Amino acid sequence: MSFPRIAMLSPISWRTPPRHYGPWELVVSNLTGALVERGVDVTLFATADSITRAKLASVCPRPYSEDAGLDAKAWECLHIAHCFERAGEFDLIHNHFDFLPLSYSGLVKTPVLTTIHGFSSPRILPVYRKYNQLTHFVAISEADRAPELNYAATIHHGIRMEDFTFSSSPDDDGPLLFFGRIHPDKGAADAIAVAQQTGRRLILAGIVQDAAYFEKEVAPHLDGERIQYLGSVGRERRSELLGSAAALLHLIHFEEPFGLSVIEAMACGTPVIAHARGSMRELIQDGVNGFLVGSMPEAVAAVEAAPRLDRGAIRASVEAKFSVARMADDYLRVYEKIVHNNSQITHQTES
């Protein structure tokens, strides 16, 4: 079977794959690896320290979020230009870099597919609207589709199941877990309140994205025993933390586009208790692999009910719907359709 030649444009805020935090870069790494396993010719445009089995193309030496001496905008411009200057070598450019590369898309003949990893602000929508007919978009959940845009598909993220060890039961007195950015959107303070109301231990892990929120809502409750903050943890500890938890608390205050930590926890057999916002209804089957709640009392009740869920069935739900193999197959179907349609248009134009 002949596969298209793919230029995979990754962000450069973090390494691909990330050392600890970097969800977009993690998705790119997972997808790239699965495509290479299928024999697809992939060139990964990422930081020079990235690790991949694909061909690596880089101009930025390190992630700018790890080196304050690198100007983010300068290296973003160089990075994106590097990919588009080589556009003629590829059948398709797969953009994971948000909206900025769209402004290059009209300058090349190679079709551009953009995975929209969520909208950081409504203010960026004019860029997507301008290139709505010229390029192609993939949504990462039905909940995150903008009604004014056309989409080639909705493709949920997939994870490498082998990276997450199944735990048939949490540790004795297994803690509750908050795993994500320390930011009001993610509900760290809500997780602390639920832990206090249920008398359960709580571990928080993730980067501090809002320092004022951390100092006001999180730090005063940290005692190193009942409520602990570990900072951002790498892949080595992620599976251990997720698998040893009694439940993951994902009490979000925004319309979550996807939520990788949700399926990662469930891959370990750990149920997820989440506010029913954004994509959560697409990831969580209420009463099967977690609970969808609408209030703090419901979250407290869900903590008490969590041990009754079948952790084997929780992992099976991820294997069935959120594997990296399924994600790669979904993208290959979109690639082939776009490349085929583009070749038809090119042939008609030349005729």
Residues 123-157 have pLDDT tens digits of: 999 999 999 999 999 999 999 999 999 999 999 99
Closest CA to 155 of 135, 137, 173, 168: 137
* Domain CATH number, residue 335: 3.40.50.2000
Q: Per-residue confidence at 95, pLDDT binned at 50, 70, 90?
A: very high
Residues 200 and 285 in one domain: yes
**Cα separation of 44 and 94, whole Å?**
10
**Predicted local distance difference test score (pLDDT) of residue 347:** 45
Residues 131 and 96 in one domain: yes
Residues 69 and 144 in one domain: yes
Establish if 30 belongs to a structural domain: yes
Residues 259 and 345 in one domain: no
Establish if 61 belongs to a structural domain: yes
Residues 313 and 167 in one domain: yes
Establish if 1 belongs to a structural domain: no
**Predicted local distance difference test score (pLDDT) of residue 224:** 87
The angle that helices 188-198 and 296-305 make with each other, rounded to 10 degrees, is 60
**Predicted local distance difference test score (pLDDT) of residue 199:** 95
**Cα separation of 135 and 230, whole Å?**
42
Q: Is the dihedral of CA 180, 136, 40, 11 positive or negative?
A: negative
Omega into 17 within 30° of 0, i.e. cis? yes
Question: Left, alpha or beta for 269 (phi > 0: left; psi -120 to 50: alpha)?
Answer: left
Residue-wise pLDDT tens digits, 221-233: 999 899 999 999 9
Q: What is the dihedral of CA 258, 264, 269, 274, to 10 degrees?
A: -30
Residues 15 and 138 in one domain: yes
Residues 120 and 167 in one domain: no
Residues 73 and 59 in one domain: yes
Closest CA to 163 of 318, 331, 328, 321: 318
Q: Across the chain, what does the average pLDDT equal?
A: 95
Residues 222 and 345 in one domain: no
Q: What is the pTM of this model?
A: 0.94
Residues 305 and 328 in one domain: no
Closest CA to 32 of 3, 11, 52: 52
Range of lowest pLDDT (160-164, 260-264, 338-342): 338-342
Q: Are strands 92-95 and 55-57 parallel, antiparallel or unpaired?
A: unpaired
Q: Give the start-end residues of each E strand in 148-232.
A: 153-154, 176-179, 202-205, 227-229
Burial class (CB in 10 A: 0-12, 13-18, 19+), 145: middle
Does the pLDDT at position 98 exceed 70? yes
**Predicted local distance difference test score (pLDDT) of residue 202:** 98
Establish if 42 belongs to a structural domain: yes
Does the pLDDT at position 345 exceed 80? no
Q: Which domain holds residue 28?
A: 6-158+323-350
Mean pLDDT, rounded, for 60-66: 97
Please write down the HEC assignment for all residues of 138-166.
EECCHHHCCCCCCCCEECCCCECHHHCCC
Tokens of 172: 């004795």
Specify the number of domains making up the chain. 2
**Cα separation of 186 and 203, whole Å?**
15
DSSP string, 302-345: HHHHGGGS-HHHHHHHHHHH-BHHHHHHHHHHHHHHHHHHHHHH
Establish if 77 belongs to a structural domain: yes
Closest CA to 168 of 96, 270, 50: 270
Residues 227 and 179 in one domain: yes
**Predicted local distance difference test score (pLDDT) of residue 1:** 52
Does the pLDDT at position 346 exceed 90? no
Residues 100 and 178 in one domain: no
CB-based contact 324:34 (threshold 8 Å): yes
Establish if 40 belongs to a structural domain: yes
Range of lowest pLDDT (36-45, 172-181, 209-218, 269-278): 172-181
